[in-house]
Amino acid sequence: MRIAKAMARAGLCSRREAERWIADGRVNVNGQVLTTPAVEVKPKDRVLVDGRPLPVAEPARLWRYNKPKGVVTTHNDPQGRPTVFDSLPPDLPRVISVGRLDFNTEGLILLTNDGELARHLELPATGWLRRYRVRAKGRVNAPELEALKDGVEIEGVRYGPVEVAIDTMQGANTWLTVGIREGKNREVRKVLAHLGLEVNRLIRVSFGPFQLLDLKPGEAESVKRRVLADQLGAELAEQFGLLDDREEKPQAKKPGFKKVRAVKERDVNERGDNDHGRKSYGGKEQSDRRSPPQRDGKPRSAGGRKGTFQKGGPRKDRREKP
């Protein structure tokens, strides 16, 4: 495994940050300071970061976090502004963000202890829609918004398809719902400015299948491992250590008839013929009692000839003697 990937999997930083740390001489492998990230490390190699052993990678975890307005999504800000990570709940381990929101944007951010998981989720190739509620000054018409579905080029930068719907109009402002999949720097603000709209409030309300819901600003809530595993699929869930002996792998398909039938047949085999004289045939229970005798190819009724049988054996002929 490449050293930058190993550092990201351990939750120290993103892969990109790991490369910068290596360039700064902060990483040592088997007593040698690295100068390039093009180094493979093995489980037995001794890796030190800032003089401390590389932490053992733990199973990946994910949190939903409501980012307040007026903080930046970075661990260290050169301008000294407050960061998301300065005021996280104390019970969270060291985490990194899945993508970023700018200083004045609020709403949902996903946090994880696994840099490789963060990298996977934030890639446009993942295809997850980021949805925003936007308040903007100005007016826009439907044809202009419809044209954004094919993407737009602004100042030499090509933006992918953008979904925009008008919700309400309040005075000089318009509330819209905007959906994007790439998440380029200040993408929503730039696309709407291209239409003559000035964004004065921007709230991310969902990231793929994960939603902001009723989280208050500054609150974080853990996503259940089972939920995350189902969203990633079996292969990635296993790669990120989301499965253990107590949890079955997420099913690509619903269990089929063969599995259900096998359970029934096993239950029948365990029950055997001692279940009150009943046997199972094709999943249906039938009595072990023999069928009534037949005569001339036709079934003979249990009662037989009238007056022949009664409970407790044959009865005497009741005809009067002459």
Question: If 0-12 CB within 10 Å is exposed, 13-18 middle and 19+ buried, where does residue 69 land?
Answer: middle
Catalytic residues: 102
Predicted confidence at residue 218, as pLDDT, reads 94
pLDDT digits (tens, 9 = 90+) for 197-242: 999 999 999 999 999 999 999 999 999 999 999 999 898 888 888 8
Of residues 128, 106, 132, the one with CA closest to residue 118: 128
When pLDDT is cut at 50, 70 and 90, the band that residue 243 belongs to is: confident
Q: Which of 8-12, 108-112, 141-145, 256-260 has the lowest mean pLDDT?
A: 256-260
Predicted confidence at residue 244, as pLDDT, reads 63
Question: If 0-12 CB within 10 Å is exposed, 13-18 middle and 19+ buried, where does residue 201 land?
Answer: middle
Q: What average pLDDT score do residues 275-288 get?
A: 40
Of the CA atoms within 13 Å of residue 298, those in its CB half-sphere come to 4
Predicted confidence at residue 280, as pLDDT, reads 37
pLDDT digits (tens, 9 = 90+) for 149-170: 999 999 999 999 999 999 999 8
Highest mean pLDDT among 58-62, 175-179, 281-285, 296-300: 175-179
For Cα atoms 170, 200, 98, give the angle at the middle one, nearest 5 degrees.
Answer: 125
Predicted confidence at residue 198, as pLDDT, reads 96
pLDDT digits (tens, 9 = 90+) for 120-140: 898 888 889 999 999 999 999
Average pLDDT score over the chain: 80
209 or 282: whose pLDDT is higher? 209
136 or 243: whose pLDDT is higher? 136
What does the block give as tokens for 150?
Answer: 């094919």
**Helix residue spans in the chain (DSSP H):** 3-9, 15-23, 115-122, 142-147, 187-194, 225-232, 234-239, 257-271
